Structure 1
Amino acid sequence: MAGGRVPMGLRVSVGQARLASERQQRSAVAVQLAEGDSHERFDACALIADSPWRNAIARQAADLAIKGFLADYPSTPAEWPIKRAATRVLLALNGWCFSQSRFVASGSYVSSLSALILHHDQGHLFHAGDTVVYRLRGAEIEQLTREHITDLGGYRYPSRALGMDASLDLDYLTLPLVQGDLFLFATQTVRGILLPSDYMQLIREHSADLDAACLALAERAAELAAGRGVSAESICFQLMRVDRLDDLWPAASDRDRLPLPPELAPGDEIDGYWIEELLSSGNQQRVYRVRDAASGDRLLMATPALEMSGSHDYLYLFDRQRDMLGALRSPHVNRLETSRRAPSYHYYLMRYIEGETLGQWIRQHADIGLAQRLEIGRQMTKAVSALHRREFLHQSLSPNSFVVDRHGQVVLTEFAACCPRDTPAEMARSLAQGAGINDFAAPEYWLGLEVGRRSDQYSLASIIYWLLSYSAAYERSGKGRPIAGMGRGGYLPYKPLAQKLRTEHDLGALEYVPLTRWVNNAPPSLDNLLRRAVSPKRSMRFRRLYELMVGLRRADAQTAQSRRRGSRQLQLWRAIALLLVFGWLISWWFK
């Protein structure tokens, strides 16, 4: 297929070439463009697969893997994030291939597979095995996949592939797309035969016809491989070029064509809900405390700001926030409340939690110990983890995002900048900026870099650092005026980033302030944990929030152990002191 067009706006050109006949080939390539409802799952999908076996039955694994993926992936639920949907399909295919291998006398249903899914302005790459995917952007070429191979007796075999084991470990990579990006898919055989300069030259010579470019690559590779005894049946190329990106801003959902509510004040009524107080007034969203006139129950009402009436991108994300709250079940995340009456305006309701924001609560409980502060940190981590499991980012975590209820339970209640992980990068940044970038935001928000779950990890760890270092002395000193190095009553791991960051090179100049400088009884392991979680470089932070949770639990155990050890030492010294006093009394009595 020389070119293709997706109605929503994404336009790609495709080229393919294989030198082997249909009966000889062990590899397979395919590109599928979305049609109809498939646009919810992808705009375009390109795959390459390669089987290591020459057995006529076993080598079908590559073709069956691609056909199975393209048949099943578009049918996955639309609310599933791309990563979850594709992973589920690939795990099912892996299980099927692994089970079929027992019916093959010579060989097995094993296949390397690389799949690139394009959706909006993002690419999602899934990979297992030794197939190769490159990205050509301008004059640069970059290999996106790493080869999972093992050398045995001079032969190279896949160490990880579809159908090789009952479990499957996939590499996953997200890629911001740029118009003109060119993706080259190749079998592992051509590695070491063609140089990057060969790819660039031959593709540039045939840029108008990608089929011709692939054929030129295949013929050149076969010519150079002839003296090495490499069979042409394993040489396969595919090219996919992004000619035009999808529209960045999706339209608001069809089910919500209701008008936005006007600016509301205490005493106003809307759909049977009386406005009691405006709790949050951001550039994009308002949050009110309301009372149901029929039941008397207090609720929270979130509404888009009236200025956002013409912003389809924001209204789309506002609806996704509501859907996320409706599907999420966690005691540490606020839940959606169903309206008892048909709404006449665009809003959603949440339960109202009696309590104080974390910032208010810690001012009233500044004398609590390290163990209780660590417990609050673990509860906050559970809340953010619940969002991440639903493939959502929060993007604006701060102490005021959490409420501590009357029972001491921490609940996440603010979602103004919350969005799905697969939200186009520009849209996600615009949402975060509209909600306001606070002192706890990761450096990538200040520099306009790519953000993700590790960005939330930075914000969360900064809040925990602030919580652990919070002291009532701040309130007394300066009568509440800001003090250098402090952030709203507690310390921050770095000086305010807005004052320090201008370019990405400035990240190396940031100096972490050890927590032990402010908290004498903090174990060194806790300091090391937070130091990594707030690393200026996103790639150096923990891969999952679970690792931060485990670290906080261990720090709490070490703190408790230290308290017990200190208590035992205190008891020992008390006993020694009593013995000395008793001995002195005896000696005095018998004088």
Structure 2
Amino acid sequence: MKKSLDVSIGQATDKGVKSVNQDYLGFRIPKEPMLSSKGIVLAMADGISSSKVSQIASKTAVNGFLEDYYCTSDSWAVKTSVQKVVKSINSWLFAQTKNSPYRYEKDKGYICTFSALVLKSHSAHIFHSGDTRVYRLDGNQLEQLTQDHRRVVSADVSYLTRALGIDQTLEIDYKKLTIEQGDIFILATDGVFEFVDNQTICQFIQQAKSSEQDENLKQKLDIAAKQILDHALSAGSNDNLSVQIVCIESLPSYQLDEVQQHVAMLPMPPALSARMEFDGYQIIREIYISSRSHVYLAKDISSQQTVVIKVPSTELRGDTKYLESFMLEEWIAKRVNHPNAVRAIEPNRKRNYLYLVTEYIEGISLNQWMIDNPKPKLEQVREIIEQVAKGLQAFHRQEMIHQDIRPQNIMIDNSNTAKIIDFGSTYIAGVTDTKSEEALRGTMRYSAPEYFLGQHGTQKSDIYALAVIAYQMLSGKFPYGVEIAQAKSVSAQGRLKYKSLINDESELPIWVDDALRKALQIDPFKRYDQLSEFTHDLRFPNKAFIAKTRPPLIERNPVMFWQTVSFVLFLILVLTALPV
């Protein structure tokens, strides 16, 4: 049975000795497909005691975040979605203060601390501003994962240096961690952690978990949260108190366990050839043979469905790590499940050998399409790039990076649908081993510059590869030529110059070239953050690009520039030589 992300959450909040509870907390566990695309969210806010309205700020921050986060685009990364939502909430709170009687007294306005924990796939994303805290339970110890944004002046005087609503702009801390089954995270306000030591918090949680009572784990965690609050009150807490406890009960089923089991138990397939019957399939012909895999066209004998069978190469059959990576391709194909990515075929019978089965795409590779269409129209390029981008977005939503986007790995079927194939280089967050010697992935002409520095790829690396393909389709050339493969240092890469597609003969809009220039920046931090931004700018003029002036003549046509300068100088000499 397919596993999914499953957690138990316990929480408690109390006004304590104060008349009003200015803390606010909440969580949301959505159903599929939202569970996979956006994850599980916990949020906590703590108002400031000098303000009579900060409880409104806390409630607005938490409720607004839990609502708006799930309305953000599925194509956005968790970090992007959260930051956009939180900054929007911050702007609203700041505006409320500016339009209130407290406009000149920040400490009496709509201000609150804010911490959020987003659990998605095999990762925990932590966002933080203020002095609420996020911990991870590590055995019998608490590991503090956030830094307090509070400046202590004296034993009696301190103030927040960062929180929602203080300033029009907001800086929010971000941290990403890999999670494992059984991990426990705790969110707490200062009314708790200043009066209950870490060891006591651990004891309450461990005791609740090991209790033999009939309650489920959520109820046990609720009890532990209430016990922690009671202990803080008895220890003299003079503030509002809130705590959330979340335990990871199961993770999505793409851990290596099942893959390793296949590798350990299934024998290698025999040598395959045309007309041969193999495990319920009739081999039709060989498609291609490489040093990493052998691929065949086949027909399922029972269903008569035409499929593609991929088997490990003879040279690598003794490499366990390669075989595990080989079998992960099948899981990736099942997980992505997008019209613009090749589909895995699940055999309806027992598999007796180690091999992969995918749909057969009747068509040609993008590489062949480019040979057949050496001068495609801009609209044709846009349509193909947009389809590939949608397929890549399906990878990115699952915290995967394809890492080998090139024309040979894109098929164009008979209905002109582009499909990404070959997932052998795909990086999966929390699963793929990331060793520096394996950082260079894919084909050099399409590999992002950071790979040549031994760095690991990001979603922006896939954006770069897709932009190279777009550039190649429009020009038949590459943006940095062969020099990029030779530039293996920061200084060497700094000397590389983007070769503009624009010249006096070009009919391409200048702003399209600007979009490609940005997507193909050597520094990944200067590229687009999202594929959707890149594809949008290929189709619609970006105002920032339109505002730019046309490249100077010396860049567009140096020969004409110097001819013009020489002619002007000649005229000046002639005029000065004439008698007055």
TM over 0.5: yes
Distance 2:506 2:464 in 1: 23
Distance 1:254 1:52 in 2: 51
**Which is further off, 390-399 or 106-115?**
106-115
Give the letter aligned to residue 499 of structure 2. V
The RMSD of aligned alpha carbons is 5.4
Give the letter aligned to residue 21 of structure 2. A
Distance 1:311 1:268 in 2: 27
Residue 524 in structure 1 maps to residue 530 in structure 2: no
Q: Which residue among 263, 267, 279 is the counterpart of 1:259?
A: 267
Tell me, yes or no, if the aligned pair for 1:321 and 1:419 is still in contact at 8 Å.
no
The match for 1:270 is 278
Q: CA offset at residue 358 of structure 1?
A: 0.8
Tell me, yes or no, if the aligned pair for 1:266 and 1:277 is still in contact at 8 Å.
yes
The match for 1:497 is 484
Unaligned runs of 5+ in 1: 1-36, 43-48, 135-142, 162-167, 178-184, 190-209, 212-230, 235-248, 471-489, 557-591
The match for 2:565 is none
The match for 2:416 is 408
Identity %: 23
Give the letter aligned to residue 463 of structure 1. I
Tell me, yes or no, if the aligned pair for 2:44 and 2:62 is still in contact at 8 Å.
no
Tell me, yes or no, if the aligned pair for 1:494 and 1:511 is still in contact at 8 Å.
no
| Shift in alpha-carbon separation, 1:532–1:302, aligned structure 2, 3 A | same
Q: Which residue among 63, 73, 82 is the counterpart of 1:98?
A: 63
| Shift in alpha-carbon separation, 1:96–1:512, aligned structure 2, 3 A | closer
| Shift in alpha-carbon separation, 1:443–1:94, aligned structure 2, 3 A | farther
Tell me, yes or no, if the aligned pair for 1:494 and 1:510 is still in contact at 8 Å.
no
Matched residue SS, 1:385: helix
| Shift in alpha-carbon separation, 1:551–1:55, aligned structure 2, 3 A | farther
Distance 2:3 2:342 in 1: 32
The match for 1:441 is 447
Q: Which residue among 142, 157, 163 is the counterpart of 1:158?
A: 163
Distance 2:338 2:420 in 1: 10
Give the letter aligned to residue 112 of structure 1. F
| Shift in alpha-carbon separation, 1:147–1:60, aligned structure 2, 3 A | closer
Distance 1:255 1:91 in 2: 41
Tell me, yes or no, if the aligned pair for 1:128 and 1:170 is still in contact at 8 Å.
yes
Distance 1:494 1:366 in 2: 18
| Shift in alpha-carbon separation, 1:155–1:253, aligned structure 2, 3 A | closer
| Shift in alpha-carbon separation, 1:155–1:368, aligned structure 2, 3 A | closer
Superposition pairs of residues 15-164 of structure 1, within 5 angstroms:
55=18, 58=21, 61=24, 84-86=38-40, 88-90=41-43, 98=63, 111-113=113-115, 124-131=124-131, 158-159=163-164
Superposition pairs of residues 150-189 of structure 1, within 5 angstroms:
158-159=163-164, 172-174=174-176
Deviations 1:100-143 (A, max 9, x none): 99xxxx999965226599999xx854113224999xxxxxxxx9
Deviations 1:512-532 (A, max 9, x none): 111225971111111111111
Tell me, yes or no, if the aligned pair for 1:493 and 1:512 is still in contact at 8 Å.
yes
The match for 1:481 is none
Distance 2:44 2:531 in 1: 24
Q: CA offset at residue 263 of structure 1?
A: 4.2
The match for 1:214 is none
| Shift in alpha-carbon separation, 1:79–1:251, aligned structure 2, 3 A | farther
Q: CA offset at residue 175 of structure 1?
A: 6.6
Matched residue SS, 1:417: coil
Matched residue SS, 1:543: coil
Give the letter aligned to residue 497 of structure 1. I
Give the letter aligned to residue 531 of structure 1. R
Residue 350 in structure 1 maps to residue 358 in structure 2: yes
Distance 1:513 1:390 in 2: 34
Number of matched residues?
Answer: 405
Residue 339 in structure 1 maps to residue 357 in structure 2: no
Distance 1:100 1:451 in 2: 30
Q: TM-score, normalised to structure 1's length?
A: 0.55
| Shift in alpha-carbon separation, 1:52–1:369, aligned structure 2, 3 A | farther
| Shift in alpha-carbon separation, 1:427–1:341, aligned structure 2, 3 A | farther
| Shift in alpha-carbon separation, 1:319–1:233, aligned structure 2, 3 A | farther
Q: Which residue among 287, 300, 318 is the counterpart of 1:279?
A: 287
Tell me, yes or no, if the aligned pair for 1:98 and 1:109 is still in contact at 8 Å.
no
Distance 1:408 1:118 in 2: 34
Superposition pairs of residues 213-252 of structure 1, within 5 angstroms:
250-252=256-258
| Shift in alpha-carbon separation, 1:367–1:526, aligned structure 2, 3 A | closer
Q: CA offset at residue 347 of structure 1?
A: 2.2
Unaligned runs of 5+ in 2: 46-57, 67-107, 135-144, 152-158, 180-186, 192-197, 200-236, 241-254, 543-580
Give the letter aligned to residue 398 of structure 1. R
Q: Which residue among 382, 387, 390 is the counterpart of 1:374?
A: 382
Q: CA offset at residue 279 of structure 1?
A: 3.1
Tell me, yes or no, if the aligned pair for 1:462 and 1:492 is still in contact at 8 Å.
yes
Distance 2:537 2:469 in 1: 16
Q: CA offset at residue 387 of structure 1?
A: 1.9
Give the letter aligned to residue 551 of structure 1. D
